[in-house]
Chain A
Amino acid sequence: MGYLLTKEGVNAVLKEWAESYLIYAPVRMSGKGAFSETDSIRYAPITTVEEIEFEKKSDFPFKEVLIPLSETLFFFTEDQVTEADGPKKNAIILLRSCDLHSVKRLDEIYIKNEYEDYYYKRIRDNVKFVLMGCKNAFENCFCVDMQTNRIETYDASLEKKGDFYEMDNRFADWETVLERNGMSRRVVVPSYVTETNVHVSIPQGLSLDVSRSKIWDEYDSRCINCGRCNFVCPTCTCFSMQDIFYTDNGKIGERRRVAASCMVDGYTDVAGGGAYRQKNGQRMRFRVLHKVYDFKKRFGFHMCTGCGRCDDVCPEYISFSDCINKLGIAVKEVGGHNEE
């Protein structure tokens, strides 16, 4: 059911939700941007609608709620292994259509790829999603081409309409709170983008043969393998295991998993000195093909959701969408054949 609400009405809803949920939304962090006197827009717990940044794309995605950058799995005491507790509260995440599409990608890897991930699942089962409508595409977005510009599988939606707010609710348990705090009922369709400035076209006939193409060579020198593209990507899920022990008692410690990047040195290192993909261009190839080719080969849909954050963040101004658009040249160069 859709509702029109005043600012106070939305805040009353948020207040009631806050009794059982932590509410995560993009907020503006003053002075925290990459350059001096710029802001960063990141996810943080909120309590009022005024804190939410509706007008800009978040620089970092929501994924840290579901897959924390550093997550403790176990505590060790001598020979005892104790499982770390999960979050005490359920969570609500406010996010845009492309990002809600990326939840499907996270689920595919963490819940469906043969094994269910215990830590992911225990958070995921207690998360609700509130869709933020997009009136216009932001710089570098290409969601329309990736078919992630619309989504129906939200629990609720929230969108600013002049001085008021529109909410659509699809989760039965929330109906009474919205009924009580809404001004009136109405049909609500969350805004979605139908045109973006950036376009991508993924060629037919892609295969691993394109790793031989010369298109990757420019990235050998342009890319500085900082891994920022991975950390801002809502669908990058890789992690490394890390054991740490406390300095004041060396017999007690914990095992964590921490976010990993396929662009950064060490990602493929095996004991004894072996490593694969030494060149940055080949790392770029690995990342790009995962996003728009081989993930689909395994799971049936593309990993990339076209949010464009990797382009926003790259300190070397490397454009992921430009790279996708060069794949056609690469396929021709290596003599493309259609494997699919």
Chain B
Amino acid sequence: MKNEYRPFLSEIKEVIKHTDIEYTFRMAYDGEVKPGQFFEVSIPKFGEAPISVSGMGNNSVDLTIRRVGKVTNEVFENFVGDALFLRGPYGNGFDVNDYTNKELVVIAGGTGLSPVRGVVDYFSYHPEELKAMTLIAGFKTPKDILFMEDFGRWMKNMEVILTVDCSEDDAFCHIGLVTEYIPKLKLQDVDRAVAVVVGPPAMMRFSTQGLLAAGFREENIWISYERKMCCGLGKCGHCKIDDTYICLDGPVFNFVKGRKLID
């Protein structure tokens, strides 16, 4: 019988620094993985933390890690030429087939861009599989922008709205909250358009409200939740909401189900 708790050592192939506190770690991994799934990343002595997959490559997965806790602090301190322990991937992840041949709007706030980056990337390489695509990405300040090098590429075949909460001198992006851009979306058929929203709880609440007000159908919206998870296996209980285990049944939910999940 497999011991699901046993982590494997994965080599850090590359570190991409986005901001002072957000780096992407390109980790050696050759199994199947979907965007929006997550790994339990650990450093013995400091513990485990669930980190979502922000990109998939040949024999690698990208884990974008924000330095905000005990484990992630240690990851930032001691990664040079090193390896991290991983187990996973866990969770359902995004299914790109849900969006094919439709107009897709992705709304991401801060590190919320990580779990959907794989989706955005997929359609940037396969634009013919969508009718149209818009990415609205919001960050606190220009200094906090993640995946800057990707935005240039994405802009070539999708509508990209990059916005920051507060004003600082940078002409590259807009100023304001992501929600301001929802009513301005130019859609052919809002009744069939699909949307993905990932970010901090308040941003997700207002963005989904905005989408519904703009005429999106509930069943055409997907969200991804972040919760404390000690196991990723439906055992530890921390992520449970109602009868739903975010780690098993999520973290990606259709809004029809997601909107009913009250912590």
Contact call A268/B226, Cβ cutoff below 8 A: no
Is A171 part of the contact surface with B, judged by Cβ < 8 Å? Answer: no
Contacts of B200 on A, CB cut-off 8 Å?
Answer: 274
Is A174 part of the contact surface with B, judged by Cβ < 8 Å? Answer: no
A: number of interface residues (CB 8 Å): 52
Contact call A276/B263, Cβ cutoff below 8 A: yes
B43-73 interface bits toward A, Cβ cutoff 8 Å, 1 = contact, 0 = none:
0111111000000000000000010111110
Contact call B234/A114, Cβ cutoff below 8 A: yes
Partner of A117, one of B6, B42, B228, B235: B235
User: Would you call the interface of chain A mostly helix, strand, loop, or mixed?
Assistant: mixed
Contact call B234/A239, Cβ cutoff below 8 A: no
B62-99 interface bits toward A, Cβ cutoff 8 Å, 1 = contact, 0 = none:
00001011111000000000010100000000000000
Given contacts A113-B248, A117-B235, contact A240 B243 (CB under 8 A): no
Contact call B234/A115, Cβ cutoff below 8 A: yes
State which residues 99-141 of A face B: CB under 8 Å.
109-110, 113-119, 121-122
Is A242 part of the contact surface with B, judged by Cβ < 8 Å? Answer: yes
B259 to chain A, nearest CB (A): 11
A337 to chain B, nearest CB (A): 13
Contact call B72/A271, Cβ cutoff below 8 A: yes
Which B-chain residue is minimally distant from A267 (CB atoms)?
B238
Given contacts A118-B5, A290-B240, A294-B242, contact A243 B47 (CB under 8 A): yes
Contact call A114/B233, Cβ cutoff below 8 A: yes
The interface-forming segment of A37-45, A145-153, A252-260, A320-328 is A252-260
Contact call B235/A237, Cβ cutoff below 8 A: yes
Complex Cα gap A276–B7 (Å): 28
Contact call A260/B233, Cβ cutoff below 8 A: no
Is A189 part of the contact surface with B, judged by Cβ < 8 Å? Answer: no
Contacts of B255 on A, CB cut-off 8 Å?
Answer: none
Contact call A240/B68, Cβ cutoff below 8 A: no
Complex Cα gap A291–B3 (Å): 28
The residue in A81, A267, A282 that gathers the most chain B C-beta atoms within 10 A of its C-beta is A81
Contact call B242/A260, Cβ cutoff below 8 A: no
Contacts of A270 on B, CB cut-off 8 Å?
Answer: 226-228
Is A74 part of the contact surface with B, judged by Cβ < 8 Å? Answer: yes
Partner of A294, one of B226, B235, B243, B248: B243
Contact call A74/B262, Cβ cutoff below 8 A: no
Is B171 part of the contact surface with A, judged by Cβ < 8 Å? Answer: no
Is A73 part of the contact surface with B, judged by Cβ < 8 Å? Answer: yes
Given contacts A241-B47, A253-B45, contact A79 B263 (CB under 8 A): no
Contacts of A276 on B, CB cut-off 8 Å?
Answer: 227, 263
Contact call A110/B235, Cβ cutoff below 8 A: yes
Contacts of A240 on B, CB cut-off 8 Å?
Answer: 230, 236, 238
Complex Cα gap A276–B246 (Å): 14
Contact call B45/A241, Cβ cutoff below 8 A: no
Contacts of B2 on A, CB cut-off 8 Å?
Answer: 118
Contacts of A81 on B, CB cut-off 8 Å?
Answer: 6-7, 44, 85
B221-245 interface bits toward A, Cβ cutoff 8 Å, 1 = contact, 0 = none:
0000011101101111110101101
B51 to chain A, nearest CB (A): 10
Given contacts A121-B1, A274-B201, A290-B240, contact A257 B44 (CB under 8 A): no
Contact call B238/A277, Cβ cutoff below 8 A: no
Contact call A277/B47, Cβ cutoff below 8 A: no
State which residues 217-262 of A face B: CB under 8 Å.
237-245, 250, 253, 255, 257, 260, 262
Contacts of B47 on A, CB cut-off 8 Å?
Answer: 241-243, 255
Is B9 part of the contact surface with A, judged by Cβ < 8 Å? Answer: yes
Contact call B69/A245, Cβ cutoff below 8 A: no
The residue in A255, A290, A297 that gathers the most chain B C-beta atoms within 10 A of its C-beta is A255
B1-20 interface bits toward A, Cβ cutoff 8 Å, 1 = contact, 0 = none:
11111110100000000000
By Cβ-Cβ distance, the 10 closest A-B pairs, closest first, are A271-B69, A238-B237, A276-B263, A76-B44, A298-B243, A272-B68, A294-B243, A297-B243, A113-B234, A118-B3
What are 20 residue pairs bridging A and B, where the CB atoms are less than 8 Å apart in the complex?
A81-B44, A83-B3, A109-B234, A110-B235, A114-B234, A114-B248, A115-B234, A118-B3, A121-B1, A208-B242, A208-B262, A238-B237, A238-B238, A239-B236, A240-B236, A243-B46, A244-B45, A245-B45, A267-B238, A277-B263
Given A119-B5, A121-B1, A237-B237: 6 more A-B contacts, CB < 8 Å: A113-B235, A116-B1, A238-B237, A241-B236, A257-B230, A267-B228
